[in-house]
Amino acid sequence: MSASDQAKTLRDLQQLASNRREEKRAANKPPRVIAVTSGKGGVGKSNVVANLAVEMSRRGRRVLVLDADLGLANVDILLGLAPVGHLGDVVSGNRDIDDIILHGPQDVDVLPAASGMSEITTLSEAQKGRLLVALDRLKSRYDTLLVDTGAGISSNVIFFAGGAHEVVVVVNPEPTALADAYAVIKVLRQRKDIQRFQLLVNSVRQSSAAQVVHERLERVAGRFLDVDIQLLGHVYYDQAVQKAVMGQEPVVLRFPSAPASRCLAQLAQRLDMMEAPDEQEGRFWEQLAEDGVSP
């Protein structure tokens, strides 16, 4: 196939994806929930979320970011936003969810977390219920909900990743990150019966490193956990990311042609073109019923 044929096929596919989005919007489908998680902390989740949000919004999605790292807020900082309230206020019933929504760059909306509130790092059932009821009211306004779950295997991580249509597991090439990713996949498989995961390998020096990490994880997780781990892609180690963090601006906006930015744009495109399996439609919202809470 010639390069121009390939470009045309890609355009046609993008048009198909866009048509499908319009159909979903018209049918009032709930937003697609994409949870970004990791076992190990500091591997780049919040940066991935902030930048994917901007890129997906640029691609025509109506994006809401939920900072579910509830006691250690980060996403608002990375997007240069100043919160007036946080999810802690919503789960405690002190504020309306509409009052805390921040409007970020590229029309990305953000539900910020609290900073330093240890009491909400583990949500009670009642708090989870209140949050889901509040989120339910927002769902017609967005078609994509991107969730930064925070690191580890806490009950909050399991709760937020448990209902997602896509679970993106972020690792870096270090063996500790791989071991912790295995742990989080294992817990999500056993506790929430999640079988499909998207692996994002961050901070690689060369793209082949992502394949190596993917093969390693697949070898053990595929064998012992019966899960399907797809390689979503990689993001290069790039000092532009650190510079952008210092300037509190997503790297894809601050340095759009930096190697990391190009990778992030490509990952957003891949996620954008991926459709949620039908049986997973609305699973996040069904947690309302599962948790015994009526809206």
Task: Choose among Mg ion, ligand ATP, none what residue 41 binds, the Cβ cut-off being 5 to 8 Å by kind.
Answer: ligand ATP
- Contact assessment for residue 108 and residue 61, using Cβ atoms and an 8 Å cutoff: no
Query: Helix, strand, coil proportions of the chain in percent (round to 5)?
Result: 55, 15, 30
30-43: burial string, b at 16+ Cβ within 10 Å, e else: bbbbbbbbbbbeeb
Question: Of 235 and 288, which CB lies nearer to ligand ATP in the complex structure?
Answer: 235
> Using CB under 6 A as the criterion, which residues of the chain lie in contact with ligand ATP when the complex forms?
38, 41-47, 69, 74, 150-151, 202-203, 235, 237-238, 241-242, 245, 260
Question: Of 100 and 244, which CB lies nearer to ligand ATP in the complex structure?
Answer: 244
Cα–Cα distance, 87 to 112 (Å, whole number): 6
Query: Which residue's Cβ has the minimum distance to Mg ion?
Result: 46
Task: Choose among Mg ion, ligand ATP, none what residue 47 binds, the Cβ cut-off being 5 to 8 Å by kind.
Answer: ligand ATP
Task: Choose among Mg ion, ligand ATP, none what residue 151 binds, the Cβ cut-off being 5 to 8 Å by kind.
Answer: ligand ATP
**Smallest separation (angstroms) from ligand ATP to the CB of 74:** 6
Task: Choose among ligand ATP, Mg ion, none what residue 207 binds, the Cβ cut-off being 5 to 8 Å by kind.
Answer: none
Question: Of 64 and 245, which CB lies nearer to ligand ATP in the complex structure?
Answer: 245
**Smallest separation (angstroms) from ligand ATP to the CB of 11:** 29
- H helix or E strand, kind and range, residue 233: strand 228-236
194 alpha carbon, distance to own chain's centre: 16
> Using CB under 5 A as the criterion, which residues of the chain lie in contact with Mg ion when the complex forms?
45-46, 74
Cα–Cα distance, 24 to 281 (Å, whole number): 11
From the list 45, 67, 171, 58, the residue with the least C-alpha distance to 105 is 58
Task: Choose among ligand ATP, Mg ion, none what residue 198 binds, the Cβ cut-off being 5 to 8 Å by kind.
Answer: none
Amino acid, single-letter form, for residue 215: E
**Smallest separation (angstroms) from ligand ATP to the CB of 70:** 11
Cα–Cα distance, 143 to 18 (Å, whole number): 12
Question: Of 213 and 288, which CB lies nearer to ligand ATP in the complex structure?
Answer: 213
Strand partners, 293: none
- Contact assessment for residue 90 and residue 121, using Cβ atoms and an 8 Å cutoff: no
Question: Of 37 and 261, which CB lies nearer to Mg ion in the complex structure?
Answer: 37
